[in-house]
Every structure is written in C-alpha cells, then in structure tokens.
A and B are shown apart, each in its own frame.
Chain A
Amino acid sequence: MQKFNTLKSIPAYLPIVNIDTDMIIPKQFLKTIKRTGLGKNLFFEMRYDENGKEIKDFTLNNEPFKNSKILIAGNNFGCGSSREHAPWALLDFGITCVISSSYADIFYSNCFKNGILPIILREEKIKEISEYSNRKEEISVDLNKQKIVYGNNEIKFDIDPFKKKCLLEGLDDIALSLEKSKQIDFFERRLKEKKPWIFND
C-alpha cells in the first residue's frame, strides 16, 4: 500500500450530502476483476452525459480540479454499498484525501486499506476550507502532525493512532495479522472444544 505522509493540492468541493458509493462508482464498472482503471469512471453519472460527453459544469471535469488530490464533500460521504471500487476509483483518479464532516463506516474503513486519508472536520470548518476550492488555492495536509494548513490558518484533525501508523508506513494489514498466527491458533483450539459445531467436524 502507498504510504501517506503530506499532501498539497487545490481541493475539489462537492457540496452534496449523502454521496453514496453508487454515485462514486456505478455498478456497471463493478464487473472488473482488477483494482485499477476505475478513475475515468469516478462519479460517472454526474460527470458524463448519456452520450459519454463530459458535463461542463461538473467540478472534476474542469481545471484545476481535474488534478485535485483532495476532495471536500458533504456529510455521510460513502454511504450505501460496501464496494471497495469506490476508494479504488478515487485513488485511480488521483484523490488520496477526502474531507467531510462524517463518513459511512464501511467506506471509512475501506479508505485506510488503500492509502486514502479520510479527514473528519466540523461543518463550519468544511465551509471555511471549501473557500480555498472556490479560490483555486492550494491547501496542505500533514498526517504526522495531524493538521491541515490553508492560507495563514491551520486546523488539527483527529485520527485513530493505529490507522495513522498504518497509513504513514503503508503497512499491509494481512501481514500484521499473520504475525498473530499463534493467537489465532490458540483461539481456534479453544473454539473447537467450546463450539465444535463451528468447524463442523
């Protein structure tokens, strides 16, 4: 997994609440057996018309937001389907940081498996930072220091220390869990005694 450290970008702003993962990446693109290549279809139905032409007034179709690495959005971002294709599509488009006042649980957890930092800020701070999108000015994110710098201002954000460490070091979850094989073995031995029906043997 790609490490996340610091990031500087003009943020793109989508002032819509409850952006669901169907909006982020519609089902027709879930037929892939790969993780890559989904970026061109990110926000497909808002981004392209019925003939596949770019819709001019959609933010991500315009400079400089075509190259935004940071997306600011309304609350409950990523609700609905568990599809990890949603963070894959964001990542493939180039977005590695999302800022919202809240996220759906599954999407939030999926971000961390893909080197994407989802930042939670209060509504009024979101409005404040989104001004930098309107003004097309860069903001910067520093994960280690847990802060966003915009203009002469900065704001701290909270993040789970373990999730932070995994992002900073680009750690592979599975490798970490496999280091606990002994505990898993022990748990399973006890389980077989306590609940023999689980393994059905």
Chain B
Amino acid sequence: MPTTLYDKIWNDHLVDQQNDGTSLLFVDRHLIHEVTSPQAFEGLRNSNRKVRHPNLTLAVVDHNIPTTDRSKGIDDEDSRIQIETLDKNCKEFNIQLFGVHDKRQGIVHIVGPEQGFTQPGTVIVCGDSHTATHGAFGSLAFGIGTSEVEHVLATQTLVQKKAKNFRVNVNGKLAIGVTSKDVVLQIIGKIGTAGGTGYVIEYAGSLISDLSVENRMTICNMTIEGGARAGLIQPDQKIFDYLKDRPMSPKNENWDKALKYWKTLKTDSDAKFDKEINLIAEDIVPMVTWGTSPQDVAPIDGKVPNPKDESDIDRRNSIDRSLKYMGLEPDIALKDIKIDTVFIGSCTNGRIEDLREAAQILKNKKKAAHVHAMVVPGSGLVKEQAEQEGLDKIFINSGFEWREPGCSMCLAMNADKLKPEERCASTSNRNFEGRQGRGGRTHLVSPGMAAAAAIAGSLDDVRKYQN
C-alpha cells in the first residue's frame, strides 16, 4: 500500500501496538528545557526510576532566562531556581546541558538543528508545542506534556495513537518582500486554528522545495497554530548539506549510512491524504494578525474585520472579544495601526536568515522615535554569526536593542514583556490574550514586516522598504 512520509516514520518507530491502535513509539531525540521538565525529574525520583538513554536527550535553558547581561546571575528568584533545578537534574541523570554561560545556549528549537541533533526520519519530542519546527528536516517532531517528558526519560518511548494525513501544497514563487512567515500565516488563516487538529501536516509543492532550510523551519514551527501537532517536509539535498559536519550529525561511515536512509524518506506518489489543500505562492502577500488567535490574519493592505459581517454567532462574539482586547475599531486600515514595540526573535523567526531579512530593511534607517525595539537572537551561535556579519551594528544604529539569546518576549516569562495596552509588531508565533504580557497587544508579522513597522511607527508594508 502506498504510504506517506508520516506513515513511514511512524511504522519505522513502532515498538508495540495494541488492537485498538494504541501504540508505543520509539523516541530518537528528546529535547528538554527548564520550564516543563522539573516535575518530570521529580516524578522519576519519586518512583526510583532512571533515565533510559541519557545521551538521546539534550537540555538547554531558554524560556525563563534574562536576555540582558547575565554575567552577574539571575535576579528573579523563581527563574533562578528553575534554571538551577535543570542544572542539578542534568548532573544527577547525566544529561548534556547547554547552560546559561554556554555559547551554544539558545532556544531549544534553534539549538537542535544547529547542532545536528535534529535529523531526518527521527521521532523528536520536547515539552514545548513548537517542536514541530524540527519537521522541516523530515522528522516526526511534536510537543508533549510534562508527564510525557517523564515517560520518554524513563522508557525512551511514548504512548500515541496515529494521526491522520493532511497535505498542504504550495506551488509557485513568492514576490519580493513575501516570506515563509506570510505563507504559514496564510495557511493558518485558511484552515483555522483547529483545522489541523488530529492530523500531521506534510508541506509540499515547488515553493516549499525552493525555500531555504531555515525558512522551512518557520513554516513547520507554526503548524501547531493550525491545530496539528506535527508538520513535516520531505528532506532533500539542502537538508543533507545543512547537516553535514554539524557537531552532532553522524560522522564518517555513519554519515554514509544515514544519508542512504534519509534519501528514502518520501511520500509515495500515489499515497492518499485524508485532507489536502492547495495554495498559490503568487497569491500570498505580506500578512499581519489583527486579533487574538493566529487565524485572525489579513493582508497588510486590508482592514480590521467588522463583527457585523460575520454570520456565525460564536465567531462574531469571538471577533468582538478580540477587537475589544486589541483596542481596535472595525473597518480601520491595518496600516493605520500605530505600534509601541517591535520584537524580533523567537523559535519562529530568531535564526540568522531572519535577522538578515530584518537588517536588510533597517540598513541606514532609524526606527520611529516612539517605538521600543529589540532583537533577541535565537542562540548564542546565531548571535555570534550576526555579529561577524555586522548585523548587530545595523540594528543598534537603527535604534534597536541587541540582546542575549532566549525565548524572551515571545512568551514573556522573563523581564521582557509588554505593559497593558502596549502594542507590538512581533515575529513570534502567538497573539493570544496576555501572551506577551498582561493586556499586551500582539500583531504577528515576518521579520521584514517587523522592521518596516519599526521605521514607520505603525504597521506597514515591507514592500515599500526594499533596499
């Protein structure tokens, strides 16, 4: 029977399957961080269990960590305790950790690929919903809860039921100024925030193959915002080139064996999908969210919707609630929305290509005087690379703050947060109520669009600012 890439990876990881379909799946790669792991380690200790394969788990601090100078320690006591707890747990259970002062420290979903820990055909899990990012390498990668983190630590497996297959085809070429962030926002707008629930999405089509590895990661990263736990892309030569000689990539004869296997990872041409949609790249324009769900998205030259135009009562109430929270009037032009803050970073858009894209727009330009703007590189290595290219200078000259790596204002667990009613153009992934700080108002955009908003002081069209 013809099978999809997801079917193949699934079948290849089945340790056991009950008659009702409940399956035990082997986990090749496990990433952990300070926020969703402490209770898992506590569980292991309480039941006197060991970590089955410490070398298949990699730990990194990211969610809670300050992005200002960390040489003098961490002020916030709870954050410090959580970070110290991860350190202690990793020592006790013999797990490799990229700690606060490690140059390789960064956001878990940026570090995994960067180190070559992320590999095609593997099952990768992490106690974080944006684990789907790693699907860009043709792996089955998804977020799990803390009880499941404990389960993986103890057994190197996970109890799962198979999801259905969903293919999103994007064909054609993107216009200048349009990026993979706009593509994924468009997809979420089209399928809705629950459109992918119960599915694993495969992204395919000529546009997807044309995208760089990093741009593919942006798309897979936001799969969860469309409800699907995992999103993946068939691995190709770009992926293999990216992984060659990374610190944790296979070496020597193992590389040859791995490569041979990786090249077999593809959906059969006659495989059936339970659901399929098609998008044309030329139809996609720079996008921006206006509401409090990532599906609340519109083209930058569009308007804020009017709840009165919505026939479904739940949807109407939901738009109404969003607009109240966002402090927006119906029918105003999106480009007329003034912003206070710009945040460039996160596991969605905190990689070197994202920083290059924003810097390209900001070169020799200043941010608007009233805007507070910051760049948080996704990892210490991204930061170093950006500094070698002089991108930090471009940002600083434009009036941006150049920070240390971490999750930062994407979820505002550290000191980087919006004040009530503060409005932010953000390259992150969620515009939920309170996500970037209580009462804070988030507009999700691409890095280029964030740069354009910083210059204009309001949401604006990046296509006007091409250098």
Contacts and interface: CB of A to CB of B under 8 A. Distances in A.
A23 B434 contact: yes
Interface in A157-201: 160-162, 173-174, 176-178, 180, 183-184, 187-188, 191, 195-200
B79 interface: yes
B39 A27 contact: no
Interface string B36-54: 1011001000010100110
B434 A45 contact: yes
B9 interface: no
Interface string B420-464: 100000000010111100100000000000000000000000000
Given A31-B78, A106-B229, A162-B20, A113 B148 contact: yes
A75 to B, nearest CB: 7
A76 interface: yes
Contacts of B157: 177, 180, 184
| Chain B: interface size category | 35 or more
Given A27-B413, A50-B420, A76 B314 contact: no
Interface stretch (B122-130, B208-216, B382-390, B394-402): B122-130
B229 A76 contact: no
Given A80-B430, A102-B197, A33 B82 contact: yes
B56 A75 contact: no
B411 to A, nearest CB: 5
A177 B257 contact: no
Interface stretch (B21-29, B97-105, B299-307): B21-29
Interface string A43-71: 00100001000000000000000000000
Interface string B127-162: 111000000000000011111101100111101010
A113 B36 CA distance: 15
A178 B227 contact: no
B434 A26 contact: yes
Contacts of A32: 78
A114 to B, nearest CB: 7
Interface residues of A, number: 57
Contacts of A135: none
B321 A16 contact: yes
A18 interface: yes
Nearest to B85: A33
A34 B37 CA distance: 10
Interface in B245-262: 248, 250, 254-255, 257-258, 261
17 contacts: A15-B317, A16-B318, A17-B317, A18-B318, A22-B434, A23-B434, A45-B433, A75-B314, A102-B194, A106-B144, A113-B147, A161-B20, A174-B47, A174-B154, A184-B155, A197-B257, A199-B55
Given A31-B76, A33-B38, A82-B129, 5 more contacts: A17-B315, A28-B413, A31-B79, A81-B411, A199-B55
Interface of B: 15-16, 18, 20, 22, 24, 26, 28, 35-36, 38-39, 42, 47, 49, 52-53, 55-56, 63-64, 76, 78-79, 81-82, 85, 119, 122, 127-129, 143-148, 150-151, 154-157, 159, 161, 163, 193-194, 197-198, 224, 227-229, 248, 250, 254-255, 257-258, 261, 293, 314-315, 317-318, 321, 411-413, 420, 430, 432-435, 438
